[in-house]
Amino acid sequence: MPYEPHEHAIWKRLYQRMLPQWEHGATPVFLEGVAKLALAPDHVPELSEVNARLAPLTGFQAVAVPGYVPAAVFFDHLSQRRFPTVTSVRAEAQMDYLPEPDIFHDVAGHVPMHTSPVFADTLASYGALAADLHDEESVAGALARFFWYTIEFGLMDTSQGLRAYGSGLLSSYGELDYALHSPNVVRRPFDLAEVLATPFEIDHFQNQLFVVDSFDQLYAAVGELRRRFAAIGILS
């Protein structure tokens, strides 16, 4: 879609502000993904250009949507290795924090992670699990909390120290540093039962986050989630 000059300027400013934060606060996998995608630093990228680099790596593609899509549609997309991608650009007044996604959140925050085979497999497995549910309403909260505390706001213990892989952090100039360094944040080792039982709010910086050791741990957690749902008889 065509973008206005001021929208390209907002992308450029967001990218320039986030780049040094990524270098010190993002997982190596994310930084490698940014390099593999060759994201444009000075203008909003075309999804076709992003997909031309992304699809050969993991089979994922970014699919344009105007905003939030129904959960069932979202899960089906993920299971087919398609990521629903909002194409609008945030307002200048929302540079530091945005409660809903925009193209910077989705393309610069999410999509670099989709270049990682194990992360891409995790995301597709999560989508397939959710799509297989025949009683989604009974576990909608659990699904949302898992996604929130991992894909959106996940932290990882790496050889370089604590780093972020969640897109809500990697697309937020204000929150990335807060998540990694603020004494107000409780950073807990990832435990599936605790994640599923921990509520969240979307209208402020997060004060409780979970830390994984690896993306293999995250992939295994999706498998455990499937086993739990199968045990209560809600999988097709």
User: What residues contact residue 180 under an 8 Å CB cut-off, 6+ apart?
Assistant: 25, 155, 162, 163, 164
- Full-prediction pTM beyond 0.75? yes
H helices of 26-116, in order, are 28-37, 47-58, 71-79, 103
Q: Compute the average pLDDT of residues 43-70.
A: 95
Tell me the per-residue pLDDT of 173-188, one tens digit each, with 9 for 90 and over. 889 999 999 999 999 9
What pLDDT is stored for residue 67 in this prediction? 85
Angstrom distance (rounded) from CA 108 to CA 106: 6
User: What residues contact residue 230 under an 8 Å CB cut-off, 6+ apart?
Assistant: none
What pLDDT is stored for residue 1 in this prediction? 63
Average pLDDT, the chain: 94
Share of the chain above pLDDT 90, in %: 84
Evaluate if residue 52 carries a pLDDT over 70.
yes
pLDDT-derived band at 236 (thresholds 50, 70, 90) equals confident
pLDDT-derived band at 53 (thresholds 50, 70, 90) equals very high
Where do the domains of the chain lie? 5-231
What pLDDT is stored for residue 209 in this prediction? 98
Tell me the per-residue pLDDT of 87-96, one tens digit each, with 9 for 90 and over. 999 988 887 7
- Written as six digits, the tokens of 229 are 């749902």
> What single-letter amino acid sits at 187?
R
**Chain centroid, CA 50 distance in Å:** 16
Tell me the per-residue pLDDT of 185-210, one tens digit each, with 9 for 90 and over. 999 999 999 999 999 998 889 999 99
Nearest to 206 by CA among 215, 195, 216, 214: 195
Angstrom distance (rounded) from CA 218 to CA 31: 19
The fold of the 5-231 domain, in CATH, is Phenylalanine Hydroxylase (1.10.800)
User: What residues contact residue 44 under an 8 Å CB cut-off, 6+ apart?
Assistant: 3, 7, 8, 11, 89, 103
Evaluate if residue 136 carries a pLDDT over 70.
yes
Evaluate if residue 159 carries a pLDDT over 80.
yes
